[in-house]
């Protein structure tokens, strides 16, 4: 079985199946199509599949023209029919791994996908989980489901883990250009997984087990979470001391060793950094060990929207205005600059807090024309408002939550009566600085 699959990978006749056609799955499709493989894309959301079949992309950095061309040339076929999983020689799983209401890992999507695969699993297939999760998921959760059909891992089929490393909106790091860490359940699974990724990405980094690969991803994101929490806490301290934390960071990063710049903000966003550290603290609790450092970082980062709203209240009070009834425009609802990805964006928490306090709310985001429905947030239907001089002048405050580079911050400051900036987006604005408050 291994030799047959190895040959199919080498001559690129192997069909690559990618389960989950979101911000990780679609770039992965692009990487394997670019490497010369025919791909099948699976998603239970039939609306997504229908849009792709119509040649329409729903992710900004994947063009509709590219989708149309790939489908027309039979390089990519999206489907919602999970019975077709057997048609793929390699299955890469890129489904969400959210947290439950109690902030425990919610593996329902991974488990459901694994059951779908188990129903059609055939000899010679390679299954790789890419979704971020805690160490032990591939072996303890997926393997028993796949093994229930009687096929033997490492002999009849193969199982591995390779964490996604997608960086939306960063043109310097496409899926193809980022090294892939790969760990297998057994040596043969690891070897085949390394071989398949080596066809499509710049470099493969083999590790000794699935658990090491799973822990690698958790470490990467916990590292970011903890360091962002530190600068968020420093931002609040520096504010009390009357010091600009952004200037402090700019000065510190001139040191050529021993320092890496992290930047504060209104909270954490994206699928990984606000969620993954809690996977690690959960598995630590299962083993009887507290992770005080990680938990504290989570507390600081999740408290940042409340801090920002307090700063907005203070800034309005200086102008003799209460928060209730004030017209506030949130600038940016995507979780990071220049992307259309709203996952876990702190802007949604800011909106909920401001609405609960009685503010009249609007938003502007050139990448998100309509406010999407979010699983954990209840917000009214809203559309992005154009930042005309008249609209800005009629506001009480513009709250910069995401620093999209297409926005003209000098114009915003010129026409708005008050700007609360959580991202240092107005650092180069010379005129009207008396209207700017940092948060």
Distance set, CA 421 to CA 95, 355, 394, 409 (Å): 34, 19, 18, 10
Pick the catalytic residue from 272, 329, 397, 407. Answer: 272
272 noted as active-site residue: yes
Catalytic residue ranges: 272
């Amino acid at each position: 079985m291994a030799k047959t699959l190895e040959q199919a990978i080498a001559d690129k006749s192997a069909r690559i199946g990618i389960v989950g056609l979101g911000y990780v799955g679609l770039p992965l499709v692009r990487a394997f199509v670019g490497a010369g493989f025919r791909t099948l894309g699976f998603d239970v959301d039939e609306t997504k599949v229908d849009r792709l079949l119509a040649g329409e992309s729903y992710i900004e950095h994947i063009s509709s023209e590219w989708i149309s061309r790939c489908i027309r040339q039979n390089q990519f076929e999206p489907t919602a029919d999970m019975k077709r999983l057997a048609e793929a020689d390699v299955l890469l799983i890129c489904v969400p791994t959210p947290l439950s209401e109690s902030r425990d890992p919610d593996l329902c999507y991974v488990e459901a996908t694994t059951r779908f695969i188990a129903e059609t699993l055939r000899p010679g297939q390679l299954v790789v989980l890419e979704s971020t999760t805690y160490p032990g998921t591939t072996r303890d959760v997926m393997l028993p489901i796949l093994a229930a059909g009687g096929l033997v891992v490492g002999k009849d089929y193969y199982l591995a883990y390779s964490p996604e490393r997608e960086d939306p909106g960063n043109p310097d790091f496409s899926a193809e250009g980022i090294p892939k860490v790969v760990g297998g359940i057994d040596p043969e699974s690891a070897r085949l997984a390394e071989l398949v990724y080596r066809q499509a990405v710049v470099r493969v980094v083999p590790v000794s087990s699935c658990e090491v690969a799973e822990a690698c991803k958790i470490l990467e994101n916990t590292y970011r979470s903890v360091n962002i929490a530190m600068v968020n806490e420093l931002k609040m301290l520096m504010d009390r001391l009357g010091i600009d934390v952004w200037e402090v960071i700019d000065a510190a990063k001139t040191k050529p060793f021993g320092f890496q710049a992290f930047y504060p903000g209104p909270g954490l966003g994206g699928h990984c950094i606000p969620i993954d550290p809690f996977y690690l603290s959960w598995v630590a609790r299962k083993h009887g060990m507290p992770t005080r450092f990680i938990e504290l970082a989570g507390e600081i980062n999740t408290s940042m929207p409340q801090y920002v709203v307090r700063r907005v209240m203070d800034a309005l009070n200086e102008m003799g205005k209460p928060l209730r009834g004030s017209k506030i425009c949130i600038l940016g609802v995507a979780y990071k600059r220049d992307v259309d990805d709203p996952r876990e964006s702190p802007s949604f928490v800011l909106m909920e807090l401001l609405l609960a306090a009685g503010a009249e709310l609007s938003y502007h985001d050139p990448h998100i024309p309509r406010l999407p429905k979010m699983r954990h947030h209840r917000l009214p239907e809203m559309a992005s408002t154009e930042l005309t001089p008249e609209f800005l002048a009629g506001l009480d405050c513009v709250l910069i939550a995401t620093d999209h580079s297409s926005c003209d911050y000098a114009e915003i400051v010129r026409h708005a009566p008050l700007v609360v900036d959580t991202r240092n987006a107005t650092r180069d604005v010379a005129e009207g600085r008396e209207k700017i408050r940092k948060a």
